[in-house]
Structure 1
Amino acid sequence: MENLTVSKLCVKLNTLHYIRDQLDELETSIKQSWVATKTMDHQIYGGFTEESTSSEFVDELFTVFDDIRTNAIEASDVILDFIGSRAIFWDTRHTFLFSLYRGGVKSARLDTFLPELDGVLDRICGLIIDELRDQVVLSVCKASMVGYSWVMLDGGPSRAFSHTEVELMHEDLNMLKDLFEANGQGIPHEVVNKEAKEAEEILELYSMKAEAIIDKLINSSKQLSQLNDCKKPGNRCANDADTLLRVLCHMKDEYASEFLRVRYQLRKSSDYEEANGHGKEPTSKSPLLTDISKGNSSSGWTETGQRSFRIMKKKFHEAASEFRQSAW
């Protein structure tokens, strides 16, 4: 990773852009010289010269130029896709991914991370040429929004969110968006909003009651075959089963915890055990949870949904094991 630092990647992008610019200038110069040469030959020899060999040579040279240009563009696209991931998921992983909201939203807000991210953006803007600045900053913006969603859905057992904390999380997300908009000097407002859409939708789920999330989860299990877009790599839908289940796993909610215990035999959070009298069953239980615990078919849980979520359960157990081994 030493050769793939953000600074070196910026230099590589600048170099590739310079190559493309120089290639365009060279191609234009050759075309102009070629036209001038043909005009002179026509005036001297009266148009009776053989031009086929020379024309083939020039065409072949331009084909090489096109190949170089295509390779430079493809390499630039790869670097642009990677540079944001490098900045967020590697360089700032400790202060952002590993620390944000760990142990509680109020004690680990986003504002403690923003100065470091602001410093990363300053270094990028100081290195990258103006023509590429917005593209590189947008790459960091995309990775930041993905990272924020990751914290909310895959943050591990040290993250749990309550309804009262959603407003604070909205404030944090708005701060992150404002950083990239830079008072109108950065990425356009509509572009930032587009990149933040997924995070906004996930926050809306956390503002809902657990019973409503469970209903959506059961309904989504019946429509797994219809969620083709959500199955594509890199895609996530706020209402797909995978997202809804992860939201329930990170909710500070009695019914969410009880549902996960009944349906997936997941151990209840110690927070809820203390709230309910050191592991005692809650005195009241929703009709939905009662139906599920009895295996009542009225819960509408299809066999396809059960099979899918058994796979999810296995993945969650594997993830939990990894967290414990790495002292998450």
Structure 2
Amino acid sequence: TKSSYLPTLPALTRCTTSSKLGAFKKKEKLPMKKKSQVGTANGDHAFGLPQLCVRMNTLHQIRTELEVLDKRIISHLRNGESTTMSISSGKDAKFELSLAGCLEGIQQLSEATAYKVVFHDLSHVLWDGLYVGEPASSRVEQFLKELEPKLELIASTVHNKVRSRVLTALMKVSFDGFLLVLLAGGPYRAFSRRDSQLIEEDFTSLKNLYVADGDGLPPELVEKAATPVTNVLPLFRAETGEVIDRFKQVVSRAYGPAMSKLPLPPTPDNWSPSDPNTVLRVLCHRNDEAATKFLKKNYGLPKKL
């Protein structure tokens, strides 16, 4: 499930602007979720990507066979001598719960597969690697390089009537993971305004992987799924003073203007430029003296965990 793979978010910190972030040791990994039992005893075979794809295909095949059986039963009853209206009309012959269960199972497997791929299989290049230290030297290429074979495996294994559902789930989770790195990546990640350009370029590359030059998902579907990220990215491009002003504005809207001090907003279910915690996290990851002074004065945030 989703909760099985999502990492534990590190506590909020402020940037260490007096030293180069590149000096951080990449060996030090971010706090992770409690270790999953998946793949420990059986070498991850039972829950590997090929096996999950087969399970989704199996549910799709069961659903297909049930639909065929349903039509045969209705046809047989209609051609028989039964006079019961509910049966002859087919109302009691449908496998409605079973068909719905197959669809729900495919959806749950799609989401679980997506979270497993992004936050388990590729955690070393996303959560533990992307933008750690100097952003320019730890960009998205390695994540894309290891994600692409996963997409190819899904495209070649999953039935074409299920494939788009699985790829869409994986796309959404990878976009969520990208944004999670930017907003909740801990003290080993910090961004200056000039880094905003490479972040935007990297996200464009991630989107293009799913479009696949017209052979992948529809561009409009990709852009719609990218909306939460594209809405937040302008905050990384904005001047620090503008981000601080925006933070004060969204806090005032959320808590009212009569505040003796700025409250610490809770982590939201969804990131948004109108959410106080989201804007605060941009400041936490801003490699800028004004941002770190603001965070120290108002929240006393530490520079490291």
**Scaled by the length of structure 2, what TM-score is found?**
0.77
| Residue 189 of structure 1: aligned partner | 219
Q: Relative to structure 1, is the Cα distance of residues 79 and 101 closer, same or farther in structure 2, using a 3 angstrom cutoff?
A: same
What is the CA distance between 1:193 and its match in structure 2? Answer: 1.1
Identify if the C-alpha distance between structure 1 residues 14 and 74 changes in structure 2 by more than 3 Å, giving closer, same or farther.
Answer: same
In the alignment, which residue of structure 1 is the partner of 2:283?
248
- The Cα of 1:145 is off from its aligned counterpart by 0.4
Matches of 1:92 and 1:13, distance apart in 2: 21
> Which has the larger Rg?
1
Deviation digits for residues 178-235 of structure 1 (CA, Å, limit 9, x no counterpart): 0000001111111111111222222210111111111111111122269xxx999732
For residues 181 and 85 of structure 2, the distance between their equivalents in structure 1, rounded to whole angstroms, comes to 63
- Could you tell me which of 77, 80, 83 is aligned with 1:34? 77
Structure 1 position 165 matched with structure 2 position 165? no
Counterpart CA distance in 2 for 1:243 and 1:159 is 16
1:78-110 Cα deviation digits (max 9, x unpaired): 112221111101110111111001001111011
Q: Which moved more, 1:157-166 or 1:67-76?
A: 67-76
Question: SS where residue 135 of structure 2 aligns?
Answer: coil
Corresponding residue for residue 217 of structure 1: 247
Report deviation, 1:59.
5.2
Q: Which runs of 4+ in 1 moved over 4 A?
A: 230-233
Residues 264 and 83 of structure 1: CA distance in aligned 2, closer, same or farther (over 3 Å): same
Q: Find the counterpart in structure 1 of residue 59 from structure 2.
A: 16
2:269 equivalent to 1:239: no
Of residues 104-113 and 231-240 in structure 1, the stretch that sits farther from structure 2 once superposed is 231-240
**Cα distance per residue 1:241-283 (max 9 Å; x no partner):** 000110000001111011011111124x5xxxxxxxxxxxxxx
Looking at structure 1, the residues matched to 300 and 255 of structure 2 have their Cα atoms a distance apart, in angstroms, of 26
Distance of 2:295 and 2:69 partners within structure 1:
65
TM-score w.r.t. length of structure 1: 0.72
Matched, 1:76 2:109: no
Taking the TM superposition and a 5 Å limit, the aligned residue runs for 1:276-287 are none
Give the match for residue 260 of structure 1. 295
Gaps of 5+ in 1: 39-49, 270-319, 322-328
1:74-113 correspondence to structure 2 within 5 Å: 74-113=104-143
What SS does the aligned partner of 2:194 have? helix
Shift, 1:171, TM fit: 0.8
- Runs of 5+ in structure 2 lacking a partner? 1-37, 40-45, 257-264
User: Pairwise CA RMSD of aligned residues?
Assistant: 2.4
Residue 236 of structure 1, CA deviation: 2.1
Q: Aligned equivalents of 2:219 and 2:255: distance in 1? A: 35
Q: Is residue 5–residue 86 contact of structure 1 (8 Å, CA) maintained in 2?
A: no
Q: Which has the higher contact order (CA 8 A, sep 6+)?
A: 2
Q: Give the structure 1 partner of residue 68 of structure 2.
A: 25
Paired residues in the alignment total 254
For 1:81 and 1:34, the matched residues in 2 are separated by 39
Deviation at 1:55, TM superposition (A): 3.6
Write the distance in 1 (CA, Å) between the matches of 2:154 and 2:86: 45
Instruction: Quote the residue 1:132 is aligned against.
Output: 162
Q: CA deviation at 1:5?
A: 2.5
Task: Please give the alpha-carbon distance, in whole angstroms, between the structure 2 residues aligned to 1:101 and 1:231.
Answer: 25
Q: Which residue of 2 aligns with 1:142?
A: 172
Identity across matched positions, percent: 31
Distance 1:55 1:140, change over 3 A: closer
Task: Look up the match of 1:302.
Answer: none
Counterparts of 1:27 and 1:138 in 2: how far apart (Å)? 30
Greater helix content: 1
What residue identity is the alignment partner of 2:125? T
